[in-house]
Amino acid sequence: MGFLDWLRGGNNRPAEDHAISAGYSFFFGGTTSGRPVTERSAMQMTAVYSCVRILAEAIAGLPLHVYRQGTDGSNVKALDHPLYRLLHDEPNPEMTSFVFRETLMTHLLLWGNAFAQVLRNGLDEVIGLYPLMPNRMTVGRDEQGRLYYEYQRTWDEPAGRFETVRLSPHEVLHIPGLGFDGLVGYSPIAMAKNAIGLAQATEEYGASFFANGAAPGGVLEHPGTIKDPARVRESWQATFGGARNGNKIAVLEEGMKYTPISVSPEQAQFLETRKFQINEIARIFRIPPHMIGDLEKSSFSNIEQQSLEFVKYTLDPWVIRFEQAITKTLLNPREKPTLFVKFNLEGLLRGDYVSRMNGYAVARQNGWMSANDIRELENLDRIDPEAGGDLYLVNGNMLPLNLAGAYANTQPTDDGEPQTDETEPTSEPDGQQLTDSESMSDERFLRRTRL
């Protein structure tokens, strides 16, 4: 069997089938640092683990609803649709919606693909969703050009059988990541194997450095000839090697001396290399460094903006992938014109308390949000509509343009037509206008100042 046959999943399929294994990324194990990198070994890096956990928990924690579009253009939650409960509460009896979406997102970030088996009843309604391991899935086309999915079951699964199962696209919810053919996504871990391998190598070096007592290696020099150098080396290592023996005082006999020969960690820029690799891994997943504990270039003035950019430029593309894949696979053609699936990102886009309150005040005063609209966003109880909770108010100083200016000073006549008040202001006998209330009687002052 040739390399291409192995990459396509073996030679046990018809020659006319063309398949690509979704678990191909295990081939990219070797790195220039000498450290083998796989999806599971990469998760042992704290930076990789943090990035994957942040994204997976963010997608899993977002509210996910099925909406129905009304004839008047309004969107209401389709609580009566069978898919609503599966996506919002329990996709299967063994998992909650949070765990299900967290698992799929973890698969996407490590393998570049997420798969779930779709179970349907006789009415073609979705009744269950079960995640499938991407490294056991193969995507291909048959001799008619139709897509198919082959899944390798193993003994550790609930069915307890080792067999290959072929599924149709109608039976698989497939969410692909970034790829070249639009069918299978590429693993971010495989694409960034050298960066992750370097981070693993520096971590291993640091562990070895402290395991050897934080003392550099060196040479024991003796003026004469040592009969058993191995015994001397082992005795030295047993006495002074290891982190617990780092502060012991060495006593050298017979003119023997110790000469270090290794480069110090400062000269090798060990700490700088580790710090840079943390930013490198954060760059792979497009995570702001402050979210994985690197606050060197973060401040109170820019962390909020970075968090908003994380929602817009990092989470939003993943959310769109989920929404469109779910709509494409789980909704039938008759439902797609009126039903759609949507994540709610409003909670993550909210600013601090003062900014939210100022925004609500503008919306309330300009009439495009009611008190109940605002209270729903803040998870507060609704106000009784009879008490004005659903009223939309507008400031009284806002008028249409044709009512502004001189036209506003006109008074309507009996027939409803406006009439301009042409009364001239009263002047004093000497021709001078009164300037204050002290120069006129109380009656004249009230008449002049009344609106």
Question: pLDDT-based confidence at 107, cuts 50/70/90?
Answer: very high
Answer yes or no: are the C-beta atoms of 48 and 42 closer than 8 Å.
yes
Q: Is the dihedral of CA 275, 278, 284, 288 positive or negative?
A: negative
Work out the average pLDDT over 340-347. Answer: 85
Residue 415, pLDDT > 50, answer yes
Q: Provide the pLDDT for residue 10.
A: 44
Answer yes or no: are the C-beta atoms of 87 and 132 closer than 8 Å.
no
pLDDT digits (tens, 9 = 90+) for 205-232: 777 766 665 555 666 676 777 777 777 7
122-138 burial, b at 16+ Cβ within 10 Å, e below that, comes to eeeebebbbbbbbbbbb
Answer yes or no: are the C-beta atoms of 369 and 340 closer than 8 Å.
no
Q: Is the dihedral of CA 178, 180, 183, 188 positive or negative?
A: negative
Number of alpha helices (DSSP H) and beta strands (DSSP E) in the chain: 15, 14
Q: How far apart are CA 149 and CA 169, in angstroms?
A: 7
Question: pLDDT-based confidence at 450, cuts 50/70/90?
Answer: very low
One-letter amino acid for residue 113 of the chain: N
Q: What is the DSSP letter of 267?
A: T
Q: Provide the pLDDT for residue 176.
A: 93
**Average predicted confidence (pLDDT) for the chain:** 77
Q: How far apart are CA 322 and CA 104, in angstroms?
A: 10
Query: Residue 417: how many CB atoms within 10 A of its CB?
Result: 8
Give, in degrees to the nearest 5, the angle at Cα 357 between 354 and 363.
145
- Residues ≥6 apart with Cβ < 8 Å to 95: 103, 131
Q: How far apart are CA 61 and CA 74, in angstroms?
A: 25
Answer yes or no: are the C-beta atoms of 65 and 344 closer than 8 Å.
yes
Query: Residue 23: how many CB atoms within 10 A of its CB?
Result: 18
Mean pLDDT lowest among 90-94, 116-120, 374-378: 374-378
pLDDT digits (tens, 9 = 90+) for 256-303: 777 765 656 555 566 677 777 888 888 899 998 888 877 776 666 677
